[in-house]
Amino acid sequence: MVAPPAVRRVLTVLALALLLPALTVPARAQDPSTHREPGNGAERSTVAASAAAPRTLLAAAGENRPDGDQAGYPRWTTLRVFPENRADKAIKLGLTPYHDIAPALNELQARTDRVSAEVVGHSTQGRDLYLVTVTAPESATEARRQDRWRELIENDPVAAARDPRLAREYKAPVWINANIHGDEWEGTDGALRVIERLATTDDPAEVAMLERTRIYVTVTNNPDGRVAGTRANAAGFDVNRDHITSTQPESRAVRDVLIRTQPLVMLDEHGYTGTTLIEPGTPPHGQNYEYDLYLKHAYDNALGMEKAIAELGHPETARADIPFRDFPPGEWDDWPPIFTPMYSIYHGAVGHTVEVPLRVNRAEYDRLPVDELRRRAGINTDVAAATISAAIEYTDSHRSELIADQIELFRRGWAGEPQREIPDGYVPGFGEEDRYSVEFPRAYVIPVGSGQRSERAAARLVDHLVAHDVRVTRAQHAFRLAGTNYPKGSYVVDLHQPKRGLANVMLAEGLDISADVRRMYDISGWSHGLLWGATVDVSRTQAPTVRTTPVTVAAPTGEVAAPRASELALDLVDGADIQAANFLLRKGIELVLREDGTVVVPASARRDAAEAAERFGVRFTRARGGERGTPLRAPVIAAAVAADELAVLRQLGFDVRPVSTEALNAGFDLGEVDTLVVSSGLVHGRLTAGATQRLAEFLADGGVVTRGATGAAFNADAGLLPVTAVAGRGDANGVVSVTNAAGPIGAGAPAHAFVYSPLWFTGLGEGVVAEQRYAEPDPLVSGHWLPGDDGNGPAEAAGEAAVVSGVAGQGARTVLFGTEPLFRDHPKGLYAQVGKAVFWTAAG
């Protein structure tokens, strides 16, 4: 007798659990230094398999089962089961350890036809990232119709608005993201509770709701952090600061989920703020939003979630903090697109951060009795489940209006219509302080050819835009726009497109909001257009009149453009150029570093240069005659740096060995090190006598690169360059204009840099060169930078040195950065400047 499908699925799950060999999660990489966090405000907040994950096993364990209709719903996937890990930090709280999630989802899939689970990516350490879809069953035909309607809403919103069947039958998508901060656990457990309830409910109203709704849940966005009890992922990155940069596998996975599912409403479940917190946020509001379409739903949905937690009956959940309603401007803003909910607004969602109330992490995790921790975690789980359920209910009850408003958002983009003026009282409390808007430009052009600073940087930017669902086209012939001639092949980002807000928030220079609020929650300025190293031109009013083709991937950029038998030159203008130079050095090629920062490659290494050009997309040209320069060797770096800086230094191909005060005191060997990089975790005054002596011996011929206040203090304490470091306000941040000198570090650097807690250098002593200065009269282009109590603001920094170089009295070549060239793996156009600093200091 043949077993029914449900029984077959149970047997399959059991068989797989018995047959799969024990899965070992790859060991964590050497622990980087703690990631920087802002000094103000409360905490808040398809990808290839990780190379560390066993690829064949992933394929075997993650394939869809053939006994389901995989084109429709449910889409049964037997998830691989991870070995029990008693060190999982969730266990102490009475919450679900990571290793229990897959068995629970496998079991649910086995006993219901409303749940589908799949793997949508892998964490830094190779753990599976799960997406669960809860909905009423759909045939393959019905699922394809839903997909076509979703695409129609984005691609032809006018037709979508006129489709009566879409209005009646389109399933409202809701997306719940949980546990993006690893030590904020309860969103996962609240989501699992809601999934199980909806999977098994007999309530006619909920069954009917599932006929009208698809609920998508990324059950844990940061499983490595969940297990380890850390806010950051295993690479030391705060994933909830990474969305428009998407450097981390965890953020790329949910980016792709967001684009694929196009939710009407989304929640990002966090903790812990004492009182439950539910967005919308305070001003300043993101100026590129269609804020009228967002706010009315966000405010009403927040009120519904507040009502739901009050009904739990816990004294701790009697009310919520809704920042828009309850906080002063700047306290909990929705300005930057780095947070999951803010980023999701640009894709058509009504996004909310939800913070469950009662702290169970960090000091409390170790200090409080287990019973109290579990009591708190239980209340937090109730809050997470209640807010999720309330958001689903809001989506269902406002389904027609939410669909119409998402259609309207995309229609405005295609039509190029201006944003709407929002009247006072649009929702209770809305007033002049809430009005932020932008006049969208007509188009951006990313040129190719002689007008492009870096072809490789341009290609990287184009590929990034496309990955984020921004429409980019390529000109089929030369054209003229806004007084500039552009060659064939130049890239065009026409702002008449559905996600124009996202395109503009990535490419525009941004806005100086220093005068608007006294402080900000996190960064206030960013710009891929100014900080990613590519030339990006803006046309305010004119559209290009040129035939174009859609771009799915940027054109190749690697080239060896020089006669045979000639020496080759590699201009270090992009991080890819640094990677290529390190690649050649590791192959034993003898390179020469010239004073202008150019690397000369011998003619005999042409084949190796061609390989580097192909691999990294860089361009080699014929080397000019003249001075020979300094022989270059593959540098070994000892790095006392933050996690984001460590990651970039390794991306650039350097041999990096983490170091700290404690490591030096414990006997860290500087004998093989060429350059010491200091920005975090190394205090000269705390070194033992022995460590101080070994450091002094290193400084006799080793190089030093520093960044920030810690680096400047190290420079002063070690008696390196004779300069005075002046600090701006600690929370000041943004994009700044700079002027560059023709020195080894400044030559060819971009005209913009990024700052966070900016420094500048005065009183430059003999032999110290200002490689880069803050522009005059006001260097701040976008962001938030007010004078501190000492009066030091952007006006005081104007004209002062932002980056300096020189040879210290001990003999060490030294470079000091007052800017943030590696911040969160974001200002990619500045990486070459740091790479050149390492090469120059190591070549001394």
Helix, strand or coil, per DSSP, at residue 602: coil
User: CA 470, 474, 475, 479: dihedral to nearest 10 degrees?
Assistant: 50
All residues at 6 or more sequence positions from 479 whose CB lies less than 8 Å from its CB, including other chains: 485, 486, 490, 544, 545, 546
Q: Please give the Cα distance from 198 to 341 (Å, whole number).
A: 24
CA 568 vs CA 564, 581, 585, 623, 626: distances in Å: 9, 12, 14, 5, 13
Helix, strand or coil, per DSSP, at residue 2: coil
Q: Is the distance from CB of 695 to CB of 687 less than 8 angstroms?
A: yes
Q: Please give the Cα distance from 608 to 597 (Å, whole number).
A: 20
Q: Please give the Cα distance from 599 to 602 (Å, whole number).
A: 10
Q: Is the distance from CB of 90 to CB of 224 less than 8 angstroms?
A: no
Q: Please give the Cα distance from 126 to 564 (Å, whole number).
A: 45
* Cβ-based burial of 345 (10 A; exposed 0-12, middle 13-18, buried ≥19): buried
Q: Is the distance from CB of 583 to CB of 616 less than 8 angstroms?
A: yes
Of the candidates 330, 329, 311, 327, the one whose C-alpha atom is nearest the C-alpha of residue 319 is: 311
Residue found under tokens 């500087």: 670
Q: Is the distance from CB of 653 to CB of 675 less than 8 angstroms?
A: no
CB atoms within 10 A of CB 449: 13
Q: Is the distance from CB of 251 to CB of 210 less than 8 angstroms?
A: no
Residue found under tokens 């589908």: 116
Of the candidates 317, 108, 128, the one whose C-alpha atom is nearest the C-alpha of residue 222 is: 128
Q: Please give the Cα distance from 752 to 780 (Å, whole number).
A: 10
CB atoms within 10 A of CB 704: 25
Of the candidates 836, 781, 780, 782, the one whose C-alpha atom is nearest the C-alpha of residue 813 is: 836
The CB-based long-range contact list for 651-659 (8 Å cut-off, 24+ gap) reads: 651/575, 651/579, 651/825, 651/831, 652/575, 652/578, 652/579, 652/582, 652/831, 652/834, 652/835, 653/578, 653/579, 653/581, 653/582, 653/583, 653/586, 654/582, 654/835, 654/838, 658/30, 658/32, 658/33
Q: Catalytic residues, which ones? A: 355
Asked if the bond preceding 4 is cis, omega within 30° of 0, the reply is no
**Cα-based angle 678, 682, 684 (whole degrees, multiple of 5):** 105
Q: Is the distance from CB of 15 to CB of 3 less than 8 angstroms?
A: no
Of the candidates 159, 155, 259, 269, the one whose C-alpha atom is nearest the C-alpha of residue 217 is: 269
CB atoms within 10 A of CB 713: 17
Phi and psi dihedrals of 517, rounded to 5? Answer: -140, 155
All residues at 6 or more sequence positions from 795 whose CB lies less than 8 Å from its CB, including other chains: 777, 778, 787
Residue 23 C-alpha from the chain's centroid: 29
* Cβ-based burial of 625 (10 A; exposed 0-12, middle 13-18, buried ≥19): exposed
Q: Is the distance from CB of 87 to CB of 227 less than 8 angstroms?
A: yes
CA 179 vs CA 44, 375, 556, 749: distances in Å: 12, 19, 38, 39
Bridge partner residues of 122 (DSSP):
128
Q: Is the distance from CB of 706 to CB of 727 less than 8 angstroms?
A: no
